[in-house]
Structure 1
């Protein structure tokens, strides 16, 4: 049987309506940084929204990369564990190996329009089975890392949920 190795992506959307403390901190930090960095592109123009800047100002797509450092400390607080994604017994279990910030919308003069997404990418996972709307997954372990007892490995049963996507799939022999 071929081994299916997947990478999961969880897209966490954060905006003015976010209620969790971590989300609020990321919201405030990214909005302040966006306002500061966007001034470099909007100076001397009438453009204040992220969309207008992207359409009309050369190199405005660089804003996301310029805002990203404002969240790295908050990302480190997570200890490498994805927020909000729980296994079937209610525990956060899914580790991430990288993240990507995305500015969805924003405006220099209107905080209510600010919206970002943090995309978290897991490391390689073995997708063993799908049971109803649950994935049975485990970390991608080498054969010599299996438990000495019955050649078993720890698994997690995870319910499929909005904003979780299989971002890559690889079949291995």
Structure 2
């Protein structure tokens, strides 16, 4: 898919795998700190820490701007369209259509991330015409490696992506899932 792909729809709701992935709303602002203000999320993701009400507002505004720019989609992971349990992201990047996720600590152990990633991958294949979706994660992040494997991704034989985030170095593996 080229970087000149058309913009994303203004509203998105995806269902599958016992989940409803929906747009973040103003009503979710109070729940976001409980989901994202956690040491694991602070360590493994670029999500800001501490994550408070101001950070929630900034994230909601940024999600809307990224959608409008045609760069990324950030959706709340829910069971029924109600309370958010985490987030799944689709980003158009030079290296491909990248997915990402974060699940609130109180909601882990239910395969929410793997299910949400499969639903979002289906959207990327069916609606965006992607040939492959990728996950970029650290090998030491055992939970994310498990998610990648459960979602059907394979470790790709490509160079590691290295950098620094929040004052610590990282080295990301690229996992891929090809169009069925």
TM-score class, shorter-chain normalisation, is under 0.3
Based on CA coordinates, which of the two structures has the bigger radius of gyration?
1
Q: Normalising by structure 2, report the TM-score.
A: 0.26
Greater relative CO, 1 or 2 (CA 8 Å, sep 6+): 1
